[in-house]
Amino acid sequence: MRSLSHATACLIALSLAVPAPVLAQGAPKPAPAPAPDLSRLTSGHRAALQCAAVFAVVALEQKRGLPSALAFPPLAWRGKEFFVRASAQVEDEAGLNREQVRDLLVADVAALQRQAADSKDPDGTLAAAMKPCQAMLDASVAPLEKPDLLACAAIFRLAYEEVHASEGMTARAKDLMTLGSVLEDRARKQQIAAGKSGNEADAALERARDALRQDPAGADRYALETCDDLARPDPKTHY
C-alpha cells in the first residue's frame, strides 16, 4: 500500500463530487459547513462506503502493477461502478450530499492506511479488508464482460495508438501493435467466414473501435485475459 495522498487522489477520481467553484481573488472565504447529520446512516451504508474505499485503494495498486493487488479481480471499472451505486444509495437513504459522502470515503481510506501502517503485514491487512467486500461487490456489480474477437481487436488497436502517441515506437508499443494486428486479422477472417465481404469485415472492425472510444468504461469493463487467449499462436501455423 502507498501513501494516503495517492489513495485519496484515486478516490476523488472515482467520485462524482461537483468541483468546488473558484473563488474570486480577495473574496471572503465561506463559513465552514456544519457537521453532517449521520443519524440516518445505517451499518449497511457504512459497510458499503468502507468497501468502496477498499476498492479505490486496490484499484490504484493494480494500476501500479503491484503483485499483491493483482491477485484480486480487476477493479478499475467494477470498483467505480460499486462506488457510484453505493454513493447514490447513501445520498438517497441517509440524506447526505455528494461532498459529505466523499468526505466519509476519504476518512475510510485514511483509516485503512493507518491500520495497514500499524500492522506488520500491510498486504495482509488489505486482503483481509477485501474478503467481505468481494461478496458485496459480486452482489452489486456483474463480473467483467467477456470480449469477442472484434472487441479484443479494438482494445489492442486503441491501446497501441495511446502508447505510441505518448511513448513513440517503444517495445511496449510494438508488442501492442503485433497483438492488435493478429487479433484484427483473426476477427476479419471470422467475419468473412460468417459470410461478410472484406469491406463489411473492415467496417465491423471500425464500428468496434468507435464503440470502444465512446464507452466511458473503455477496456476496463472487459476480462482482458480472454484477449490473450484469442491472440495465442495457432499451433498449426507460424503464428
Q: Kindly state whether residue 21 falls inside one of the protein's structural domains.
A: no
Average pLDDT over residues 204-219: 94
CA-closest candidate to residue 205, choices 159, 158, 160: 158
Give me 203's grid cell. Answer: 467496417
Tell whether 121 and 176 lie within a shared domain: no
Whether 98 and 33 have beta carbons less than 8 Å apart is answered as no
Q: Kindly state whether residue 206 falls inside one of the protein's structural domains.
A: yes
Name which residue leads in pLDDT, 170 or 19: 170
Q: What is the pTM of this model?
A: 0.69
Q: What's the pLDDT band for 15 if we cut at 50, 70, 90?
A: very low
Over its C-alpha atoms, the chain yields an Rg (Å, rounded) of 22
Tell whether 123 and 9 lie within a shared domain: yes
Tell whether 74 and 190 lie within a shared domain: no
Average pLDDT over residues 94-99: 93
Tell whether 11 and 109 lie within a shared domain: yes
Tell whether 99 and 119 lie within a shared domain: yes
Domain boundary among 103, 122, 140: 140
Average pLDDT over residues 10-20: 41
Q: SS3 for the chain, per residue?
A: CCCHHHHHHHHHHHCCCCCCCCCCCCCCCCCCCCCCCCCCCCHHHHHHHHHHHHHHHHHHHHHCCCHHHHCCCCCCCHHHHHHHHHHHHHHHHHCCCHHHHHHHHHHHHHHHHHHHHHCCCHHHHHHHHHHHHHHHHHHHCCCCECCCHHHHHHHHHHHHHHHHHHHCCCHHHHHHHHHHHHHHHHHHHHHHHCCCCHHHHHHHHHHHHHHHHHCCCHHHHECCHHHHHHCCCCCCCCC
Encode pLDDT of 138-172 as tens digits: 999 999 999 999 999 999 999 999 999 999 999 99
Tell whether 173 and 60 lie within a shared domain: no
Give me 75's grid cell. Answer: 477493479
Domain boundary among 140, 168, 190: 140
Q: Kindly state whether residue 31 falls inside one of the protein's structural domains.
A: no
Tell whether 65 and 129 lie within a shared domain: yes
State the pLDDT at residue 159: 95
Tell whether 103 and 157 lie within a shared domain: no
Average pLDDT, the chain: 86
d(CA 55, CA 182): 34
Q: What domain range includes position 203?
A: 149-230
Q: Kindly state whether residue 22 falls inside one of the protein's structural domains.
A: no
Residue 26 has pLDDT above 80, yes or no: no
Whether 77 and 220 have beta carbons less than 8 Å apart is answered as yes
Residue 94 has pLDDT above 90, yes or no: yes
> How much of the chain, in percent, has pLDDT values that exceed 70?
84
Encode pLDDT of 101-139 as tens digits: 999 999 999 999 898 888 889 889 999 999 999 999 999
Q: What is the chain's length?
A: 239
State the pLDDT at residue 205: 97
Q: What's the pLDDT band for 58 if we cut at 50, 70, 90?
A: very high
Whether 55 and 133 have beta carbons less than 8 Å apart is answered as yes
Residue 35 has pLDDT above 90, yes or no: no
Tell whether 91 and 119 lie within a shared domain: yes
Q: Which residues contact 130 (CB under 8 A, 6 or more apart)?
A: 54, 58, 72
Domain boundary among 113, 140, 167: 140
Tell whether 169 and 203 lie within a shared domain: yes
Number of domains in the chain: 2
Residue 69 has pLDDT above 70, yes or no: yes
Average pLDDT over residues 191-215: 96
d(CA 129, CA 135): 12
Q: Which residues contact 116 (CB under 8 A, 6 or more apart)?
A: 1, 122, 125, 126
State the pLDDT at residue 25: 44
Residue 16 has pLDDT above 90, yes or no: no
Q: Kindly state whether residue 24 falls inside one of the protein's structural domains.
A: no
